[in-house]
Amino acid sequence: MRYDWTVNEIEALFELPFNDLMWRAQQAHRANFDANEVQLSTLLSIKTGGCPEDCKYCPQSSRYNTDVESELLMKKAEVMKAAQVAKEKGASRFCMGAAWREPKGRAFELVCDMITEIKAMDMEACATLGMLNADQAARLKEVGLDYYNHNLDADPDYYKEIISTRTYDERLDTLKHVRANGMSVCCGGIVGMGETRRHRAGLVAQLARMSPHPESVPINMLIKVEGTPVAEDEQFSGDLDPFEFIRTIAIARITMPGSHVRLSAGREEMNEEMQALCFLAGANSIFYGEKLLTAGNKDAENDQQLFAKLGLRPMKKATPSSRRMVNA
């Protein structure tokens, strides 16, 4: 496994002929995984909207005028009902998201109770609650959390254009606490925010230089939500070519061959052929279920049909034993 990828090397991968890139991605994928298995994670927004942060892509920031209504933390019984439905539909992991800068006080303990109950249902548990300190990470580990999602979102230089209320280093600190407490890291980013190819290479380099690599790498295609600056301001405009998105997936696969690369937000807008190319590029995880946090997603039946057409199977659990553990 390599942890010394340079931005130039990754940019060179972006320049490869498409077929050559896909071939390399397939080799990396097949050396490490069953290439016909895809991990299914279901998301639930347990605390929606009203977030004090200024992430310019996010419909949940209180700074932008979007259709998202603020809601209080959901009751545990409702969350458990949603987790049960996700399990019955075949998801192996349940991911809870909260629109917080960081978790605090009693609300944090309530989320810890939810995690305990999800673990009792024999599902993998993931949470994304904003920044964590060392004590909070230790507490999440104690209640059995398997994965913590915290994205880098963009290349360090481009990041400054997108978020001002928390620094890149603060993000890295949270990831350090997650690692230090023995949880798996889910960390990726967004493409399609008006960044250059060099910036996309820079984002992948940041991820691929982490040692170990994040176990899960969500690659989100920006969902342009009315009212958010990235959807409204010219500065961020310009649609990303679909092949550039597929290339980004392939490059994540090549540079982080043992990680679960997730075809994440934006799938609702993708046709079956595009999704099939993403799987061919080495994506082996998706968000499964009709909703992401506030935005729509393909519904489960739709995904089941696509899986049948492509001969894909849901992965049981993304524990290390499901990997082939062979380096590409």
Q: Does 223 bind ligand SAM (CB under 6 A)?
A: yes
Q: Which residues contact 178 (CB under 8 A, 6 or more apart)?
A: 132, 137, 148, 150, 185
Binding region for ligand SAM (CB under 6 A) out of 73-81, 83-91, 218-226, 304-312: 218-226
| Closer residue to ligand SF4 (CB): 51 or 111 | 51
Strands 189-191 and 216-221: parallel
Footprint of ligand SAM on 105-134 (CB under 6 A) = 128, 130
Q: Does 100 bind ligand SAM (CB under 6 A)?
A: yes
CA 258 from centroid of its chain's CA atoms: 16
Q: Is 256 left (phi over 0), alpha (psi -120 to 50) or beta?
A: beta
- Buried b or exposed e, range 59-94, using 16+ CB within 10 angstroms: bbbebbebebeeeebbeeeebbebbeebbebebbbb
The long-range contacts involving 75-81, CB below 8 angstroms and separated by at least 24 positions, are 76/110, 76/113, 76/114, 76/117, 79/44, 79/46, 79/114, 80/114, 80/117, 80/118, 80/121
**One residue of 11, 146, 153, 215 binding ligand SAM per CB under 6 A:** 153
CA 232 from centroid of its chain's CA atoms: 24
Binding region for ligand SF4 (CB under 6 A) out of 52-60, 74-82, 226-234, 272-280: 52-60
Q: CB–CB of 218/45 below 8 Å?
A: no
Q: Does 99 bind ligand SF4 (CB under 6 A)?
A: yes
Footprint of ligand SAM on 175-194 (CB under 6 A) = 190
Question: Which residues are designated catalytic?
Answer: 51, 55, 58, 95, 126, 186, 262
Least distance in angstroms from the C-beta of 205 to ligand SF4: 22
| Closer residue to ligand SAM (CB): 123 or 154 | 154
**One residue of 33, 39, 49, 59 binding ligand DTB per CB under 6 A:** 59
Q: Does 55 bind ligand SF4 (CB under 6 A)?
A: yes
The residues binding ligand SAM (CB under 6 A) are: 57-58, 60, 97, 99-100, 128, 130, 150-151, 153, 190, 220, 222-223, 225, 265, 293
The residues binding ligand DTB (CB under 6 A) are: 43, 59, 97, 128, 149, 151, 188, 218, 220, 223, 264-265, 292-295
